[in-house]
Structure 1
Amino acid sequence: MKAGAVRFSLRSLMREWRAGELQVLALAVVIAVAAVTSVGFFADKVQRAMLLQASELLGADLVVVSPEPIEPALREGAQAHGLETARFVTFPSVVLFGDAAQLAELKAVDGGYPLRGRLRTSEQPFGSEEEMEQGPAPGEVWVEARLFQQMEFEPGDLLQVGETELRVARVLTYEPDRGGALFLLAPRVMFNVEDVPATGLVTPASRVDHRLLVAGDEPAVNAYRAWAAERLEPNQRLEGIRDARPELRMAIERGEQFLGLAALVAVLLAGGAIGVAARYYSERQADAGAVMRCLGASRAFVVRVFALRLLWIAILSSLAGVLAGFAAQTVLTRLLGVWFPGGLPAASAWPVFSGLAIGLITVVGFALPSMLRVGRVPPLRVLRRELGAPPPSVWLVLGLAFLTLAVLLMWQIGDLRLVGRVLGGALITGLVLWGAAWGLILLLRPLRTRGGVALRFGLANLARRGSLSAVQLSAFGLGIMALLLLALVRVDMLAAWEQNFSDDAPNQFMINVQPDQVEPLQALFESRGLAKPVYHPMVRGRLIAINERAVNPEDYDNPRAERLAAREFNLSFRDAPQPGNHVVEGRWWRAGDDPRQWSVEDGLATTLGIELGDTLSFRVAGETVEGTVTNLRKVQWDSFNVNFFVVAPPELLTEMPATYITSFRLDDDGDGLLAAAVRQFPNVTVLDVRVLMERVRAITDRASLAVEYVFLFTLLAGVVMLFAAIQATRDVRQQETALLRTLGAGRRHVLAGLLAEFMVMGLLAGVLAAAGATLIGYVLAQQIFDLPFAVNPWLWIVGVGGGAAGVGLAGWLGARGVLRQPPLLTLRKGV
């Protein structure tokens, strides 16, 4: 019997396909899978490209960091995995030129450095830059511009490094891996690793940081990372791009969040289209189910036949959707590839399997309950047309759809907390939309006796089919709302994100400023017609205890927590939160409060397990400073403003030794100011972060552009959902139209009435969508992306106007087909 069901389902599938009833469902599945797969292919390429570009800020894809010489086995293992390798060592030391001595941060690199990105140098301090594929040759040294001012030597002079002298060949302006260690208190001096033995500076007792750089294909890098993690010594660690600067990490994470949001909306709309199309198809198949029962088929056999038919449609349509998605992303890659240096990398095979799986899961979750009801059609329907399939269980439909949605969301975005928020938000939004739709339908009932004939007809249709109109209105509102979120709210959120990298964003940092140097430096800025920068106090302190429990790096399993516990913090003190910081828990201190308080960045608190009310003890200049955590702050790390992990009231740290730090904007023609500042105050360190900003801005631009293109697929999924919702009422409208024409109504009047009905429905759906998009956009911006949000009036203009025009046009196109069928044929079919 089971084999017979398989054969029968395959034979009947061809017949039903030719009849055209399955084409709506199949089209919904194809478009759904194509949308999701194209998003998957394209997002996979874009994310791989962004990570590849971001890896330039490490100089590699993966770095092994060790205070001891790295075992040759780790390098040999990388090469065995087919990866490129390079190495360098860094250590502080004093360099000499004549009678001048200066502490410097020495970096000895081999010929393979860097593996990602390019070094930049110039022939003279603050001169034009040139890209270099590798570091200094043996016998040469490259130094930062600030060392030229501090030691007053020229290119070509000999600089004494330890026991040897190296010729100053070029000015070092940029290192790719500087993104992971932005603030070096001492100027950089780079030379070849072959010259290290001659310096005599590296001994077993030396404080040296050894790094092994690894780069290659992502699968090979991931495999090596897993292999190396099992062979690392306790004092060694692995660093990837996500362990780099907070500015960079935030840019990548937000880029992935925006792409995930776009793909998520496409999945939601696709599932809705499949569910509506499946319900329409199951209603059309009531006669077929009744005939099969009359011919002796059991209910189980009928259910198997229709379930198998659905399975074949799901498999074939998913395959077609994967091919369509691959073709679509190929076109997008060609269009967008010019924006990525070196083009986009090849996508992995994962989107193929995920597209097929998502297609099957979506069909089963959203279509299966409607198909199961066909087996419950009574055989008596062949004689009594009013008997149809009993409606599916509301709990079954909602439960399975909710479970499917949860699986798809978890698959698509992988963040359990975000999935929970989206599911809760989707449930609340659906209930609110349905309730609001019912309310609007009730408000329309008194108006159906007013206006012209066409308007009265359209309003009467909406009011008469209250339940069906409310469902359709909710579906249209949900589809339009999703499109508004990506069309306008998305633009607003991306614009808010990109404002962090505006033309006014700081691109220079000045650190190690002494208290008595703040006013002269501000005066120097004013003398050149520039705004005075704000200097922030910075106190060095080590966290030694949390609630009187000693802080030991070995107590933490998280590598980042271990590093934070072992480092010294840059503490600061302020009366009020600085711009870009806002309190998320607790409250900021006020005048007259106990000064023994701390404000902690919420990410640091999560990593180190710090909670509101905890007592933190810091060792500052040989003294212990204690205070209670009274508030947690959200910090806008990607603003390139000065930010601190831990801040205290001024009274707590005022007496502690402090230096000052500031960030400011300086155009290219202001480089003379930097030279003047360093010449007047040799101890001051100026850091140029323009190149780092360019890299982070590039990642932001790539993510924005990717979301723009991903939106096209989401728009297509929304159009399909709109089409499926209109098709679901096609039979009912056919019957109504046939009766009206039989009673003497002309085609023009009927068409005008249908157009009025759809336009009013679109207008109401637009109102619901604009209100929902505004509310959800606010929640997304504030709670998930941590971005400012402002109400966009175009949201209402486009939502209401576009809803009326779009749904009206779609209804008109659908109604034309209804009017083509002769009324007598419709009445004879008893539809």
Structure 2
Amino acid sequence: MSLAQLSSSAGEDNPPAAPGLPARSSLALRFALRELRGGLRGFAVFLACLALGVAAIAGVGAFSRALTDGLGREGAALLGGDAAFALVQREASPEEYRLIAAGGQVSTVATTRAMARAGEGDRLEATLAEVKAVDGAYPMVGTLELEPAQPLAEALRPRDGTFGAVADPALAERLGLKPGDRFQVGDAQLTLAGTILREPDALSTGIGFGPRLMISLDALRATNLLQPGSLVRWQYRVRMTDPAGLAAFVEQVRHGAPEAGFEVRTREAAAPRLETNVRRFTEYLTLVGLTALLVGGVGVANAVKSHLDAKRSVIATLKSLGAPSGTVFAIYLAEVGLIALVGIVIGLVVGSALPFAANAAFGYLLPIPIEPTIQPMALALAFAYGVLIALAFAMWPLGMSHDVPVSGLFRDQVETGRRRPRLVYLLLTALAVLALAGLAIAASEERRVAIYYLAAAASVLIVLRLVGLGIMALARRLPRPRSTTLRLALANIHRPAALTPTIVLSLGLGLTLLVTLALIDRSLTRELTSRLPHEAPSFFFLDIQSGETDRFAAYLKQKAPQGEVEVVPMLRGRIITLGDRAAEDITPPPEFAWVLSSDRGITYSQDLPEGSVLAAGEWWPPDYSGPPLVSFEREIADAFGLKIGDKVTVNVLGRSITATIANLRDVEWERLAINFVMVFSPNSFAGAPHTSLATLAVPDGGDPAAERAIARAVATDFPAVTAVRVKEALETIGEIVSNLLIAIRAASLVALLASVLVLAGALAAGQHHRVYDAVILKTLGATRLRLVGAYALEYAALGLVTAAVAVGAGTAAAYVVVVMVMELAFGWSSAAALGAVAVALVLTIGFGLIGTWRALGQKPARILRHL
């Protein structure tokens, strides 16, 4: 059947005789397949952009799932058993222990922080250690690897009046120890028997500020660190006799000891904080991949527009033969859909392979063994993103094909008439965009973050588009310069079919993301290395016995006369209820999940703590003796829906204390001064054993040598007190943040690469117009050097403006993240701005001139005969 015959019985020209949708779809598919026989020339950027973004999303999702599956599979080894019951500041009572032991074999593990000391006098070395005391049943699950290889029981056995110990190699290095050397913790003499190569349950204990030291429970008792109120965490791990009855066993313990205040973990959630962090990091990297897809969407739109421009004569021919406009649209929709499917499938294949490649290359660095597999859900999500991006950005230029006139047969360049597609195509574009936004929000665990991201991305896209149009309007109104080169450059910026909006949009997105990350990096680094070390206390001192508080404060004043000493009582408690809701029934906002995830430090005070500002309510009087009252941090109270007058129940030392919220406070957490989420009235814990927490703040951050001297002196004269140097803690946090930022920067390069591909594709697509310009100008006497100069000035101007917009938008985005989300001081970086300018100039001028040089080499005769 000919197209003329087809048009007589189908399409919009003869509605009554129109065949069904399947017939039109079949015809469109056949034409699309025939046209694609000539290859995918012109769609390289289209394919690369889709494949890159889809691969990033699929790869991140698959690797995250593999890691999460590894955590679930290794849950018993990470936890050290099928279930673990934890208490803070006290051991389980005999009755509580019997309840736990009813489930199976029990292993007792106690963890605390303490100062490890080696040497004497001026040669004394002291460092903070994360002490882990274990019994003979440890480890019940998994394998502890030591150097030299030996059974743990042999390594920890007493010898020559000392207790055996094994340690992280970093601890041995800091103290200058080798196997057989002696050192001290508290009042106990220890002998280093070896170093720890692999600790199976290391992840379940979280991040420590010091290296691991493992000793026996008998050695821990010999240290005399187990004083009333000492911050020791006791874990009772159970290897179930009947693993299938885990849930029932946990409920049995909870109901049998309702006042114990156990923090319970099971093998299904051995490292919940790590799993949460993995999910959050995955979500962030997925958004980065989506950013790459959004940037690539510009390339998709450019490629489709360029392809349809090249097919104007074909479209006009089809219409002249009677093809309805709807059929033409369907043909090219099918063609673009097939090409998009190729790009998406390439991305899915690459994304599926990424976890396998990453595990082969870096698997030895991972904390747990993973077994990468094909993840259908991750691939489905990436596929959906790819399809919606292709539709959202291709529908507009495809809709323009509806109104290509038949007069396109008679000359290369004609006035297209309409500047935007018809309403139906605008609605289809809007529907694809809304579906994309809905998918991003639905697939996100932190939907608020996804909404903020979508709003920011839409704002940047709109701003960059408006900036591009604004540059054209400004260039059009500027006075005409006398220089021919400048006049040509200025005209190129605002002429019809100018590349100005495309260049600004494609390059601006990638640069904005890089500038944003660079400024966040700068602010975090400045906070951790410059501001905090000078504003925060130099030391935190833990486990000061209440009877020694005054003597210890006087001792610190003697050692650091210029320093400021602050001492407050400290206990640990686990929140049982907030208002009328049990803690286990509350789903907290993700950013405040830590409040309920474990026990919290709490204190009592007669006066409003320094660093706090009363936000609502009244502080209790100095002589208050009524029912317990509590002051709650305002932002956290708002997050949990708490208000003045609500009740809060906290389990402290196995006793539940219910207090009424008397007031709310704003707390300056960023100062790292002593402060707490909850501050109770002094009468709340009358008679309860507790220790004190002290800080020492030395003017201007203190001298490192003087700080080390203070740490050695405290370790010698107060062996039970733990000294935490803030600078060392910040260095530890800084290393973690730096590693995360490296991963984020690497992932963000995907978005920049997509920007580069889109820019190259846009400039390549624009060469059709450059050829006409170059031929006509050369015919009129322009030299190649003059044309190159004009094009170089044009691209330089566009690169500079794009860089300026990216720096402005990136600065605004980084400011919002740092100040409003992280609540830190914002630090601007000239290096990030100059780097963006350099990247923009190199890419725009480089790619522009490479393509322009080809245009300058075209023979005039072939071009002129078609004008």
Unaligned runs of 5+ in 1: 76-85, 93-103, 133-143, 157-167, 193-206, 215-223
Question: 1:525/1:594 Cα in 2 relative to 1: closer, same or farther (>3 Å)?
Answer: closer
Alpha carbons 2:76, 2:82 under 8 Å: kept: no
Q: Deviations over 1:507-547 (max 9, x none)?
A: 8651243275244355258549996764333367897987x
Matches within 5 A, 1:48-67: 59=79, 63=83, 65=85
CA contact (8 A) 2:299 2:506 kept: no
Counterpart check, 1:268 vs 2:294: yes
Q: Does 1:233 align with 2:287?
A: no
Change (3 A) 1:555 1:46: closer
**Could you tell me how far apart the structure 1 residues matched to 2:819 and 2:109 are?**
41
Matched to 1:263, the amino acid is: G
Deviations 1:422-468 (A, max 9, x none): 22222333333344444444444454523632222111222444986
Is 1:479 aligned to 2:510, yes or no? yes
User: Could you give the per-residue CA deviations for residues 240-285 of structure 1, whole angstroms, max 9, x where no partner exists?
Assistant: 8988798x78976775565455434323322222223223223333
| Counterparts in 2 of 1:302 and 1:506: CA distance versus 1, 3 Å | farther
Distance 1:441 1:592 in 2: 68
Q: Which residues in structure 2 correspond to 1:597-746 (within 5 Å)?
A: 600-601=632-633, 604-605=636-637, 608-611=640-643, 613-616=644-647, 626-633=660-667, 635=669, 643-647=675-679, 659-662=691-694, 672-673=712-713, 675-678=715-718, 699-746=736-783
Counterpart residue number, 1:421: 452
The aligned counterpart of 2:390 is 363
Mapped to 1, the partners of 2:726 and 2:205 lie a distance apart of: 9
Change over 3 Å in CA distance of 1:715–1:6 after alignment to 2: same
User: What is the CA deviation profile of residues 111-141 of structure 1, one whole-angstrom value per residue up to 9, with x for unaligned ones?
Assistant: 5436487799877989984469xxxxxxxxx
Change (3 A) 1:45 1:641: farther
Aligned amino acid, residue 233 of structure 1: E
Provide the C-alpha distance between the structure 1 equivalents of 2:134 and 2:401, rounded to a whole number of angstroms: 74
SS of equivalent residue, structure 1 residue 629: strand
Find the counterpart in structure 1 of residue 792 from structure 2. Answer: 755
Query: Which residue is 1:381 aligned to?
Result: 408
Asked if 1:316 is matched to 2:342, the reply is yes
SS at structure 2 position matched to 1:628: strand
Worse overlay, 51-60 or 377-386: 51-60
User: Is the CA contact 1:70–1:210 (under 8 Å) kept in the aligned structure 2?
Assistant: no
Please tell me whether the aligned partners of residues 542 and 722 of structure 2 are also in contact (alpha carbons under 8 angstroms). Answer: yes
Give the structure-1-normalised TM-score: 0.71
- Aligned residue for 1:449, secondary structure, equals coil
Alpha-carbon deviation of 1:771? Answer: 0.8
Q: Which secondary structure state, in structure 1, belongs to the residue aligned with residue 140 of structure 2? A: coil
The verdict on how the C-alpha distance between 1:511 and 1:8 changes in structure 2, with shifts beyond 3 A counting, is same
Superposed displacement of residue 589, structure 1:
8.4
1:489 to 514, 519, 534: 519
CA distance 1:776–1:401, change in 2 (3 Å):
farther
- Cα distance in 2 for partners of 1:172, 1:755 equals 61
Does structure 2 conserve the Cα–Cα contact (< 8 Å) formed by 1:181 and 1:245? no
SS of structure 2 residue aligned to 1:538: strand
For the Cα contact (< 8 Å) 2:84–2:265, is it kept in 1? Answer: yes
How far did residue 669 of structure 1 move? 8.2
Deviation at 1:494, TM superposition (A): 5.3
Q: For the structure 1 residues 326 and 518, does the alpha-carbon distance in structure 2 shift closer, same or farther, using more than 3 Å as the test?
A: farther
- SS of aligned partner of 1:804: helix
- SS of corresponding position for 1:745: coil
CA change 1:807–1:177 in 2 (3 A) is closer
Taking the aligned partners of 2:769 and 2:608, their CA distance within structure 1 comes to: 65
Give the match for residue 26 of structure 2. 3
Distance 1:751 1:285 in 2: 29
| 1:773 CA displacement | 0.8
Separation in 2, partners of 1:800, 1:566: 47
The normalised TM-score by structure 2 is 0.68
Partners in 2 of 1:536 and 1:728 — Cα distance? 69
Q: Give 1:12's match in structure 2, choosing from 9, 15, 35.
A: 35
1:392 aligned partner, one-letter code:
P
Indicate conservation of the 8 Å contact 1:286/1:388, yes or no: no
- Paired letter, 2:832: L
What SS does the corresponding residue of 2:107 show, helix, strand or coil?
Answer: strand
| 1:776 to partner: Cα distance | 0.7
Query: Corresponding residue for 1:33?
Result: 54
Partner in structure 2 of residue 538 of structure 1:
570
Residue 796 (structure 1) aligned to one of 814, 822, 833: 833
Shift of 1:291: 1.6
C-alpha distance in 2, partners of 1:42/1:785?
Answer: 27
Q: Which residue of structure 1 lines up, in the alignment, with residue 149 of structure 2? A: none
The question of whether the paired residues in 2 share the 8 Å contact of 1:61 and 1:116 is answered with no
Give distance in 2, aligned partners of 1:182 and 1:821: 67
AA aligned opposite 1:824 = A
- Secondary structure (helix, strand or coil) at the match of 1:523 reads helix
- Could you tell me whether the CA contact under 8 Å between 1:616 and 1:629 is conserved in 2? no
Deviations 1:148-202 (A, max 9, x none): 62xxx7679xxxxxxxxxxx9999999847736999xxx998569xxxxxxxxxx
2:817 is aligned with 1:780: yes
Structure 2 residue corresponding to 1:814, chosen from 830, 839, 851: 851
Change (3 A) 1:628 1:729: farther
Shift of the 74–316 alpha-carbon distance from structure 1 to 2, 3 Å rule, reads farther
Number of residue pairs matched?
740
* Counterpart-to-counterpart distance in 1, 2:554 and 2:373: 52
Partner of 2:332: 306
CA contact (8 A) 2:541 2:695 kept: yes
SS of aligned partner of 2:251: coil
- C-alpha displacement of 1:360: 2.5
Q: Is the 1:280–1:727 Cα contact (8 Å) retained in structure 2?
A: no
Equivalent residue, structure 1, for 2:3: none
Structure 1 equivalent of residue 107 of structure 2: 88
Shift of 1:42: 6.0
Contact 1:763–1:803 (8 Å) recurs in 2: yes
Query: What is the CA–CA distance in structure 2 between the aligned matches of 1:109 and 1:604, rounded to whole Å?
Result: 42
Return the alpha-carbon distance in structure 1 between the equivalents of residues 730 and 79 of structure 2: 16
Q: Is the 8 A contact 1:34 1:325 kept in 2?
A: yes
After TM superposition, the structure 1 stretch with the greater mean CA deviation from structure 2, 556-565 or 411-420, is 556-565
Q: In structure 1, what is the equivalent of residue 121 of structure 2?
A: none
CA distance in 1 between partners of 2:162 and 2:285 (Å): 42
1:313 Cα deviation from its structure 2 partner: 0.9
Query: Aligned equivalents of 1:172 and 1:522: distance in 2?
Result: 39
**Contact 1:259–1:703 (CA under 8 A) maintained in structure 2:** no
Taking the aligned partners of 1:541 and 1:37, their CA distance within structure 2 comes to: 42
> Aligned equivalents of 1:11 and 1:818: distance in 2?
30
Report SS of the residue matched to 1:740: helix
Contact 1:501 1:697 in 2 (8 A): no
Structure 2 match to 1:824: 861
Match of 1:200 in 2: none
The residue that corresponds to 1:409 in the other structure is 440
| Distance (whole Å) between structure 2 residues aligned to residue 25 and residue 698 of structure 1 | 39
Give the secondary structure class of the aligned counterpart of 2:828.
coil
